[in-house]
């Protein structure tokens, strides 16, 4: 009998609950977005996010169990994202998970939310084989992780300032688009060549695997200030901007893979849903003969199923936590 996990993710502004059987049988995966709650503020308000998590978490758990056709008695262990994220939001998920673990007498497993993103590939039908280089392009983080197995990985590159997804959202906002703005920018990137304008490609020629995107955001601010007569060309401008983002991500990732002698790459996180980004990564992987994996688009954004998937391997290995599990806002 394969063990069943109830997983919770409340790291930022989405509330997600999933029920997973074994490593890859998703019985339910429900996510409630708070986009409308924060739209008027131009970004996520931490206190409002926490209150909304509290409001919906218990009904969401009940619905996840109902859709799975099981009850609390069938749960073998709990999993929860306990870092990184907004502390108030994290505390909701961690507190509820610990309470359930105590009441049910079941083990609990704390998960690094960012580390779980590549496991969305596994749930999308791609076996996770090692070694592998994971590029995580989530809203708040851009990371390169060299994974030797499920529990042995090293962060070899990260954004030194803004994450790629954060940069895309902020630039889209400059043009009046609500956050998240990735879909709008991606749409323009698929329609235009991106060659009409030229934007910087930060750290592209620098040694090492780190990223930097705040300078690109600043470059767009200056472009808008210095070229008001060109702002009616929104599509070509944003396509050129995203071309810079994509080239940096592709160049750094494949440079890292070649440097480490790794022939397998995964790309996950919210920005991995971008059609344009997938296109340029696919072309480069084909050119260089490397294996490339993506999650399905529906699993690119934050969800509890990927959290449960990573937890399933930890549970199998006996790597569980206790009720002293705490929430941490930063990527440790």
217-230 pLDDT per residue, tens: 999 999 999 999 99
Say whether both 83 and 154 belong to one domain. Answer: no
When pLDDT is cut at 50, 70 and 90, the band that residue 40 belongs to is low
Say whether both 151 and 266 belong to one domain. Answer: yes
Give Cα 326 to chain centroid, integer Å: 21
Residue 328 forms part of a structural domain: no
At 109, which CATH number? 3.30.420.40
Total Cβ atoms within 10 A of residue 41: 10
Say whether both 214 and 307 belong to one domain. Answer: no
Q: Quick one: what percent of the chain has pLDDT higher than 90?
A: 86
Taking alpha carbons only, the member of 38, 39, 43, 47 closest to residue 89 is 47
Say whether both 308 and 211 belong to one domain. Answer: no
Say whether both 247 and 312 belong to one domain. Answer: no
Total Cβ atoms within 10 A of residue 130: 13
Show the domain range for 8.
Answer: 4-118+302-316
The residues facing 19 across adjacent strands are 6, 28
Residue 107 forms part of a structural domain: yes
Say whether both 262 and 310 belong to one domain. Answer: no
Say whether both 236 and 288 belong to one domain. Answer: yes
pTM, full prediction: 0.94
Say whether both 248 and 135 belong to one domain. Answer: yes
Q: For 55-59, 182-186, 204-208, 258-262, which range has the lowest pLDDT when averaged over its residues?
A: 204-208
Say whether both 111 and 147 belong to one domain. Answer: no
Q: 327 pLDDT exceeds 90?
A: yes
Say whether both 89 and 184 belong to one domain. Answer: no
Total Cβ atoms within 10 A of residue 197: 18
Alpha-carbon span 27 to 209, nearest angstrom: 38
Are the CB atoms for 93 and 311 separated by under 8 Å?
A: no
Q: 152 pLDDT exceeds 70?
A: yes
Say whether both 307 and 286 belong to one domain. Answer: no
Say whether both 135 and 192 belong to one domain. Answer: yes
Alpha-carbon span 43 to 185, nearest angstrom: 18
191-218 pLDDT per residue, tens: 999 999 999 998 887 778 999 999 999 9
Residue 164 in tokens? 């790629």
The mean of the pLDDT values for the chain is: 94
Spell out where 34-179 has E strands.
Answer: 77-83, 108-112, 132-137, 142-149, 152-158
Q: 240 pLDDT exceeds 70?
A: yes
Q: What are the helix (H) ranges across 163-233?
A: 164-174, 182-191, 214-226
Domains of the chain: total:
2
When pLDDT is cut at 50, 70 and 90, the band that residue 110 belongs to is very high
187 sits in the region (left: phi over 0; alpha: psi -120 to 50; else beta) called: alpha
């Amino acid at each position: 009998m394969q063990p069943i996990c109830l997983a919770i993710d409340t790291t930022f502004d989405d509330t997600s609950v999933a029920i997973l059987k074994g490593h890859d049988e998703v019985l339910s995966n429900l996510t409630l977005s708070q986009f409308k709650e924060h739209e008027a503020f131009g970004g996520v308000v931490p206190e409002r996010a926490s209150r909304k998590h509290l409001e919906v978490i218990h009904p969401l758990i009940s619905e996840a169990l109902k859709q799975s056709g099981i009850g609390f008695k069938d749960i073998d262990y709990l999993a929860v994202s306990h870092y990184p994220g907004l502390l108030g939001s994290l505390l909701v998920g961690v507190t509820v998970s610990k309470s359930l673990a105590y009441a049910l007498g079941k083990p609990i497993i704390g998960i690094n939310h960012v580390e779980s993103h590549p496991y969305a590939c596994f749930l999308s039908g791609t076996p996770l084989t090692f070694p592998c280089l994971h590029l995580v392009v989530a809203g708040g983080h851009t990371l390169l992780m060299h994974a030797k197995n499920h529990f042995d990985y090293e962060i070899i590159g990260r954004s030194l300032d803004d994450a790629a997804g954060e940069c895309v959202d902020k630039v889209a906002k400059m043009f009046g688009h609500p956050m998240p703005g990735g879909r709008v920018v991606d749409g323009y990137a698929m329609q235009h060549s991106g060659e009409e304008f030229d934007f910087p490609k930060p750290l592209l020629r620098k040694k090492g695997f780190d990223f930097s995107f705040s300078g690109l955001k600043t470059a767009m601010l200056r472009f808008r200030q210095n070229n008001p007569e060109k702002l009616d060309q929104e599509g070509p401008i944003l396509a050129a901007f995203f071309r810079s983002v994509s080239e940096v991500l592709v160049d750094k990732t494949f440079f890292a893979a070649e440097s480490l002698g790794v022939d397998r790459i995964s790309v996950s996180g919210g920005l991995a849903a971008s059609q344009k980004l997938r296109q340029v990564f696919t072309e480069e992987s084909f050119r260089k003969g490397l294996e490339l994996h993506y999650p399905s688009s529906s699993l690119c954004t934050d969800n509890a199923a990927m959290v449960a998937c990573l937890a399933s391997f930890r549970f199998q290995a006996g790597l569980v936590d206790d009720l002293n599990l705490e929430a941490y806002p930063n990527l440790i």
